[in-house]
Chain A
Amino acid sequence: MIKNVRIAWKPALAAVALAFAFGCSGGDTKTAEGDKPKGETTTQPSGTTTAARPEPTGEGVTATGDTIKIGVVGSLTGDQKPWGDDSIEGAKMALEEFNAAGGVNGKKVELIVGDSASKAEQAKSASEKLLSQGVIGIIGEVASGNTIQIAKAAFSKAVPVIGIGATRTDLTDEGTHVVRVCYTDAFQGPVMATFAYEELGKRKVGIVTDNKAPYSQGLSKSFADKFKALGGEVVGEVFYETGQTDFTGPINEIKGKNPDVLFLSGYFPEVGPMAQAIRGAGIGKDVPLLGGDGWDSPQLLVSGGDAIIDSFFCNHYNNKETRPEVTAFLTKWKAKHGGKDPGTTMAALGYDAASLTFDALKRAKNLNSKDLIEALNDTEGFKGVSGVINLKGKGGNPDKQALVVQVKPAAEGFQVFKKAYSPSDIK
């Protein structure tokens, strides 16, 4: 017996070692590939990663039956529920309008909702379920980590994925079937870095990253790269995880580095409490807090209290804008929601993602998911609520403007517009 065990040990060990070596090298190559387009897009924020995008090889799904089935995935439960609710509500509004206007040659569109429960693995199973129901396109998601799973699930079936608020830069490298209606972190990060360096005159940044969110990791990196390129110094980066309640350790660590500005690249459920902990640890208001569009929820005010007021973050559009698309959207939204503005910009982005999909359905040669992918990637001059969307030759990433807003108490309108950056402003 013992002898057998001993003999069995060596090959087992070797196998483990081999697997480990392969696993590591695999991981390394992936990182290198992932970094490359990111580096490129940092210098060229409009995004020219078209060459790297694999083409889905599947036959594509053709719409059969009386209606055209389109899926939408959002977080109806969990941490990111405010985004899921808003984005799906926005998509439904677009659906009503489109069907009322006659649909595609009289054929109506049916929207099937899937719940990602704010979790990547749930997003995967929700999108697989939608695919098995024969959808020819999936709208979603807001979080990058969830969208990656949807994109992977939809690849083999050649079904397009229309990202709502997923900003992680390398997301569209999953394949030509992935497009989005929002800007990327390769733009958002440098926007905030430029704002911190030029407008706020800060030179020493401390970065706080959510190690569990691909979005946060990507955004921290693009911010740090730009801030260093401008001449600033990254004094330190500390990490926490989605769902963490006590931030004492990382905050003390970053405090010891004496930053003059902090960049919190995570999502609002953690950023609010963290802001309180940061101020509680004795980091004063002369050290402003900055963040990305992951901050966008009025819940930030509840969980952040006074500590979060006067911080800055990057967003897609502002309710106070006077473009006709914005006012028309807000009027319709308010009529449906008792006179209230949407809580997050994800409502407008969900509306845009859905409208863009329906618009592409009309332009597609056939009601087939492959033709829909082509039509989506050929989009030119689509006037969305969040700005004009051009996707032709953009590799799935529209070059839109980003707005820097300041957090103010609810009575003053939560987010107050401060400065707009268009892709040409960030060199």
Chain B
Amino acid sequence: MPIHSIPADIFLPIGGVELSTLPQQLVDGLLLGFIYALIALGYTMVYGVLKLINFAHGEVFMIGAYCALFTSWALGYIPNNTLGAGQWWMLIVMLVASMVGCGLLGMTIERFAYRPLRNQPRIASLITAIGLSLLLQYGGQIFLPLNQNIDSKINPAAGAFTIALGGGKSVDTATLKHTLEEKQAAFEEYLKRTKADPFNLDADGKKIRSEAQAAERDLKNAADTGKGTTLVIPYGKVIAMIATIFLMMGLTYLVMYTKRGRAMRAVSHDFDAASLMGINVNSIVTFTFLLGSVMAGAGAMMVATFYAGAKIDTFFGMVFGVKAFVAAVLGGIGNIPGAVLGGLLMGLTEGLVSWLGFTAYKDAVAFVVLIVVLLLRPGGLLGSAKVEKV
């Protein structure tokens, strides 16, 4: 970042702590943290089973966003459409499409890119993962439409929870509002009478207009002093959070209380011993990739749909992928609750950093946190540090 673009007042928030934006930043950070957690699960599960960092996971996430986009197009929400608000079943169709699309992609990647290399040195798989990631990012540019958005109208729950947290002074805005209405009416009447262009006025018109504008400013200033701290949480982000929690509960059930889950844990514990005990290791590995990719697909659909205007291109998964990977390492890679904890912590840290006024550095701070955690606890927060023999 060029030195001259650092704002002069960058250190101000530390001295005169501005508390009013803290709740909003933390809540937004937490909501984003759930998405990171969802993606981090994919990294951590694959690592747990194969000891492989699937760097193509972010690109699976990207494809998930495209699946959601194409489904929304198929439902009629093409660019510049004139449709009204969508239906709930549309969101579910999009979610299922993303999950199925990503699940298939994840299994395909495992079958054709990683399985042939499973008995080769681990570095070969790692390089393949990076190669796949680049292939999907740049190869995707040839046939995928770039710079697309899912029309936010498809989300039937437009609007947001607005929660007043207090702190505002009581200001009488009624008189100011009245003055504004009067002045605006006068200006409109003037425009009607003279048929003047509102942006090319003579001295008289300018005077009337500036009175109306002054009244508008007064009202806004009064309202700003009066409103205090408010928390705005779009419904969509809340839906995303609830859906994420349900998905995680489902995953926990699958891993902890089903036969397949037990097999998965066994493979993760000792690959060779599990295979000697009659577990079909190949099918378990495929299943792990399927699960992780499905989670990424769900996350992608939710980001693309509920984060208003999120831009979809082939690099969509890059930032999210890297952040989720950091989250997985932070929580202890290979550890499922750790991934969730790591994701939430990442989100909160970002919120906190944004609140301090360092939005431009929030990505860097995420990595600083990672370095600090790894220095103090090399295995991650919930992971166990094992000495590996090389």
Contact with A along B52-65 (1 / 0, CB 8 A): 00000000000000
The 8 Å CB contact of A418, one of B80, B147, B199, B216, is B199
Contact A249 B141 (CB under 8 A): no
Closest residue of chain B to A27, judged by CB? Answer: B3
Q: If the complex has contacts A245-B310, A273-B308, are A217 and B354 also in contact, measured as CB distance less than 8 A?
A: no
CB within 8 Å of A: which B58-114 residues: 79-80
- Minimum CB–CB distance for B79 against chain A, Å: 4
User: Is B378 part of the contact surface with A, judged by Cβ < 8 Å?
Assistant: no
Q: Is the interface of A mostly helix, strand, loop or mixed?
A: helix
Q: Evaluate contact between B214 and A28: CB separation under 8 angstroms.
A: no
Taking a contact as CB atoms closer than 8 A, the residue among B311, B353, B357 that contacts A303 in the complex is B311
Asked if B309 and A305 make an inter-chain contact with CB atoms under 8 angstroms apart, the answer reads yes
CA distance A101 to B308 in the complex (A): 51
A-B contact pairs, 25 of them (CB 8 A): A24-B3, A35-B4, A78-B141, A199-B199, A202-B217, A211-B1, A211-B360, A243-B315, A243-B319, A248-B28, A248-B32, A249-B28, A253-B354, A253-B357, A253-B359, A255-B21, A269-B147, A273-B149, A274-B309, A275-B309, A282-B162, A302-B79, A302-B148, A307-B309, A404-B199
Q: Which of A20-49 contact B (CB under 8 A)?
A: 24, 27-28, 31, 35
Q: Mark B143-156, 1 if CB is under 8 A from A, else 0.
A: 00011110111000
Q: Could you say which residues of chain A place their CB within 8 Å of the CB of B153?
A: 305
- Cβ of A141 within 8 Å of any chain B Cβ, yes or no, is no
Contact of B316 among A199, A217, A245, A301 (CB under 8 A): A245
CB of B2 closer than 8 Å to a CB of A: yes
Kindly report which residue of chain B lies nearest to residue A272, judged by CB atoms.
B309
List residues of chain A with CB within 8 A of the CB of B28: 248-249, 252
Q: Which residue in B200, B230, B232, B362 is a CB contact (below 8 Å) of A419?
A: B200
Q: Chain B's nearest CB lies how many Å from the CB of A291?
A: 15
Known: A209-B5, A302-B79; 7 extra A-B contacts, CB below 8 A, are A201-B213, A249-B350, A253-B357, A273-B310, A277-B307, A418-B199, A419-B199
B21–A256 touching, CB < 8 Å: yes
B25: interface (CB < 8 Å): yes
A408 to B2 alpha-carbon distance, docked (Å)? 36
Residues of A within 8 A of B32 (CB): 246, 248
Write out the residue numbers on chain B whose beta carbons fall within 8 Å of the beta carbon of A250.
354, 359
- Residues A259-293 near B (CB distance < 8 A): 260, 269-270, 272-277, 279-282, 286
A256 contacts B220, CB within 8 Å? no
Task: Please measure, in the bound complex, the distance between the C-alpha atom of A302 and the C-alpha atom of B234, giving whole angstroms.
Answer: 21
Shortest CB–CB separation between residue A403 and chain B, in angstroms?
11
Nearest B-chain residue to A308, judged by Cβ: B309
Given A237-B7, A244-B319, A258-B224, answer yes or no on A276-B24 (Cβ-Cβ < 8 Å): no
- Shortest CB distance B152–A (Å): 6
Q: What is the CB-to-nearest-CB distance from A343 to chain B, in angstroms, rounded to a whole number?
A: 13
Contacts A270-B311, A282-B232 given: A249-B25 contact, CB under 8 Å?
A: yes
Question: Is the Cβ of A303 less than 8 Å from the Cβ of B309?
Answer: yes
Contacts of B209 in A (CB 8 A): 201
A157 within 8 A of B: no
Q: With an 8 A cutoff between CB atoms, is B351 at the interface? A: yes
Q: How far is the CB of A239 from chain B (nearest CB, A)?
A: 4
**Chain A residue nearest to B307 in the complex (CB):** A246
Asked whether A280 and B147 contact (CB < 8 A) given A201-B210, A303-B311, the answer is: no
Which residue on chain B has the smallest CB distance to residue A410? B80
B20 within 8 A of A: yes
In the complex the two chains form, what is the Cα distance from A211 to B363 in whole Å?
A: 14
Q: Is the CB–CB distance between A249 and B220 below 8 Å? A: no
Please give, as numbers and ranges, the residues of chain B lying within 8 Å of A392 by CB-CB distance: none
Chain B residues with CB below 8 A from A244, complex form: 319
* B interface residues (Cβ-Cβ under 8 A, vs A): 1-5, 7, 9, 18, 20-21, 24-25, 28, 32, 79-80, 141, 146-149, 151-153, 160, 162, 199-200, 209-210, 212-214, 216-217, 220-221, 224, 230, 232, 234, 303, 307-311, 313, 315-316, 319-320, 350-351, 353-355, 357, 359-360, 362
Q: How far is the CB of A274 from chain B (nearest CB, A)?
A: 7
Distance between A395 CB and nearest chain B CB, rounded to angstroms: 22
Residue of A nearest to B3 (CB): A27
Decide: A77 near B141, CB < 8 A? Known: A201-B217, A275-B309: yes
Does A203 count as interface, using CB distance less than 8 angstroms? yes
Contact assessment for B147 and A299 in the assembled complex, using a CB-CB cutoff below 8 Å: yes
A303 to B210, CA, bound (A): 33
Assembled-state Cα–Cα distance A155/B7 (Å): 33
**Closest partner residue, chain A, to B4 (CB atom):** A31
- Determine whether A378 belongs to the interface, using a CB cutoff of 8 Å to chain B: no
User: B351: which A residues are within 8 A, CB to CB?
Assistant: 249
Q: Contacts A201-B213, A203-B217: A282 and B230 contacting too (C-beta < 8 A)?
A: yes
A276 touches B224 (CB 8 A): no
The answer to the question of A89 belonging to the interface, with a C-beta cut-off of 8 Å to chain B, is no
- Cβ-closest chain A residue relative to B26: A252
Q: B313 contacts which chain A residues (CB < 8 A)?
A: 79, 243
Render A189-227 as a binary contact track against B, CB cut-off 8 A, 1 for contact.
000000000011111000001010000010000000000
Task: Select one of A78, A282, A305 contacting B151, CB under 8 A.
Answer: A305
Quick check: B309 and A260 within 8 Å, CB to CB?
no
Tell which of B152, B221, B359, B360 touches A305, judged by Cβ atoms closer than 8 Å: B152
How far does the alpha carbon of A238 sit from the alpha carbon of B353 in the complex, in Å? Answer: 13
Give every chain B residue within 8 A of A60 (Cβ-Cβ).
Answer: none
Chain B residue nearest to A281 in the complex (CB): B232
What's the minimum C-beta distance from A185 to chain B, rounded to whole angstroms?
14
* Complexed CA–CA distance, A302 and B141 (Å): 20
* Min C-beta distance of B314 to chain A, whole Å: 10
Q: Which B residue's beta carbon lies closest to that of A117?
A: B141
User: Out of A217, A273, A280, which one reaches B5, CB within 8 Å?
Assistant: A217
A residues 145-185 near B (Cβ < 8 Å) are none
Smallest Cβ distance from A248 to chain B, in angstroms?
A: 5
| Residue A81 interfacial (CB < 8 Å) | yes
CA distance A219 to B88 in the complex (A): 43
CB atoms of B309 and A81 under 8 A apart: no
In the complex, chain A residues whose CB is within 8 Å of the CB of B217:
201-203, 260
Write the nearest CB–CB distance from A171 to chain B, whole angstroms.
Answer: 16
Task: Check A398 for interface membership: any CB of B closer than 8 A.
Answer: no
Assembly CA distance A286 to B213 (angstroms): 11
Contact B220 A286 (CB under 8 A): yes
Interface hub of A28, A31, A280, A282 (most chain B Cβ within 10 A)? A280
A239 interface neighbour in B141, B309, B311, B360, Cβ under 8 Å: B360
A31 pairs with B3, CB closer than 8 A: yes
Rounded to whole angstroms, the CA-CA distance of A303 and B80 in the bound complex is 10
Q: Is A304 an interface residue (CB 8 A)?
A: yes
Known contacts: A274-B309, A280-B160, A419-B200. The answer to whether A81 contacts B146 by CB under 8 A is yes
- A214 (CB) vs chain B CBs: closest residue: B2
- Given known contacts A258-B224, A269-B147, A249 and B316 CB-to-CB distance under 8 angstroms: no
Q: A418 to B354, alpha carbons, bound, how many Å? A: 37
